[in-house]
A and B are shown apart, each in its own frame.
Chain A
Amino acid sequence: MSDVNQPVAHPPVTDWVNDFDHTDPQWTEDPFPIWDELRAASPVVHTERFLGCYMPTTYEAVREIANDTEHFSSRRIIVRDVRPEVARNAAPPITSDPPVHKPAKQLLLPPFTPDAMKKLEPRMRAICNELIDGFIADGKVDAAARYSKYIPVRAIAHMLGIPESDGDLFIRWIHMILELGIKDESKLLEAVHEMSAYFSAHIEERKNKPTNDLISYLMKARDKEGNPLEDSHVLGSLRLLLIAGIDTTWSAIGSSLWHLAKTPADRERLIAEPALIPTAVEELLRAYSPVTMAREVVKETTISGCPVKAGNMVLLSFPAANRDPKMFPDADKVVIDRRENRHAAFGLGIHRCVGSNLARMEMQVALEEWLKRIPDFRLDPAGTVTWSQGTVRGPRQLPFLLGKAM
């Protein structure tokens, strides 16, 4: 087992088209020109890294793969250096394929409808304002560390019925699974074990004293035969909600604020026309989509004319698809009043993000409350913006100066 613990070194990329690597610092810093280069080369590119991995570069190729559950499995959804045995009930339904997928997904959908999100909205507005109260007098803030991060953390904790104050613990696990875990198996396993212990304790508590939250909701759920879910299924879905619900929206809110900090014209327009914010949120989701998923090729096929062989992974980059100029005119520009926007930020096909309505609500509320209280802000030239690596992309350090420039 000792070799499992050795993180693999990744040599810097010099040939993106034949040797791409989404963990390369250049990709982390500015992936957009890389995606353009790959798209110009082929609708599907391949790397020998990660034990063999394809990447569809066009919107159309991404759509084909997302809709093809016969040749592409979701049993592995992160492109990593290793391919350990797949755990049953890893994180259903995101790691499920048909026919198991649909019932697992339907179970999670009702608590996340737009109407359900409306009920959560007042709490979200209060959370945003509490966070702003904490730094507005300082004249400067790391908006990733003190604002965008805690909005989804508190939202998901609130929904699950676990203490909002455990947020830093959740963030540690997510960092270990989604970033460190790509190259270091031991970090991933450690986080998964800690999460399972944490949620098992919350499940035990609710066995005698059911509560009115998502954990109890999952425990009360019954399948078609009337049987309760296995504990491992409940645990897997809770892991999913926590992992998928936090750094994704953290990233989306952070990228949106980053864009507005450096684009005064867009900021001023949204302040003058707050009704445009939902449209702007869609465009910011398109231009700065945080989430890249993965599939595993289980049967040989052809995608956009390119042969695709079993045994390889697929880096399913919704962010790159959303920058495809064939699908989106001025794809490289943020057009905050874009009218036609079929962006794939929440995925396409049966694995459409369960939390998309939650994420949209959080983004709208986060931007509305921020712009109401902090109409003027800009990047702090003395600070550095840093971006997360790998599966979910967003600012992890976002130093702003607040108030009008002198």
Chain B
Amino acid sequence: MTERLRVHVDPDKCQGHARCKALAPELFDLDEYGNAHEAGDGIVPPGLEDKAWLAKSNCPEIAIDVIEE
């Protein structure tokens, strides 16, 4: 059985590179300044797990956590 994933952006680390929004638009939203936060409660719908890991591994500020629940 696959674990459920949840993404979280640390707002103190995010500098608005917006890589997560480009790579996983379903999982992240940007505010008016272009800084990222997780969409909704951050729960990764089935099938988007790969995108969650991709977003994490492309964040230059290491601001994204992918939590296995």
Contacts and interface: CB of A to CB of B under 8 A. Distances in A.
B57 A340 contact: yes
B39 interface: no
Contact of B30 (A114, A340, A346): A114
Contacts of A114: 18, 21-22, 30, 34
Contacts of A278: 22
Interface in A197-232: none
A113 interface: yes
Interface in A359-384: 360
A169 interface: no
Q: What range describes how many residues of A lie at the interface? A: 20 to 34
Nearest to A112: B34
B3 interface: no
Given A114-B21, A339-B54, A106 B61 contact: no
Interface in A151-165: none
Contacts of B61: 348-349
A343 B32 contact: no
A119 to B, nearest CB: 14
B58 A341 contact: yes
Given A340-B58, A348-B60, A113 B33 contact: yes
B60 A343 contact: yes
B15 A357 contact: no
A346 B22 contact: no
Contact of A356 (B17, B30, B62): B17
B59 interface: yes
B57 A344 contact: no
A264 interface: no
B28 to A, nearest CB: 11
A278 B54 CA distance: 14
Interface in B32-69: 32-34, 54, 57-62
Given A342-B57, A343-B60, A344-B60, A352 B30 contact: no
A114 B22 CA distance: 9
Contacts of A51: none
Interface residues of B, number: 18
Contacts of A352: 15-17
A311 interface: no
B22 A113 contact: no
B54 to A, nearest CB: 7
Nearest to B34: A113
Contacts of A40: none
Contacts of A346: 17, 60
B65 to A, nearest CB: 15
Q: Which one of B30, B61, B62 has the greatest number of beta carbons of chain A within 10 Å? A: B61
A339 B33 CA distance: 26
A360 B58 CA distance: 15
Interface string B1-39: 000000000000001111101100000001011100000
Nearest to A352: B15
Nearest to A108: B33
A82 B64 CA distance: 41
A339 B17 contact: no
Q: Which 9 A-B pairs have the closest CB atoms?
A: A352-B15, A109-B33, A113-B34, A340-B57, A342-B60, A110-B32, A114-B18, A109-B34, A341-B58
Interface of B: 15-19, 21-22, 30, 32-34, 54, 57-62
16 contacts: A106-B33, A110-B34, A114-B18, A114-B21, A114-B34, A115-B30, A282-B19, A339-B54, A339-B57, A341-B58, A342-B57, A342-B62, A346-B17, A346-B60, A349-B61, A356-B17
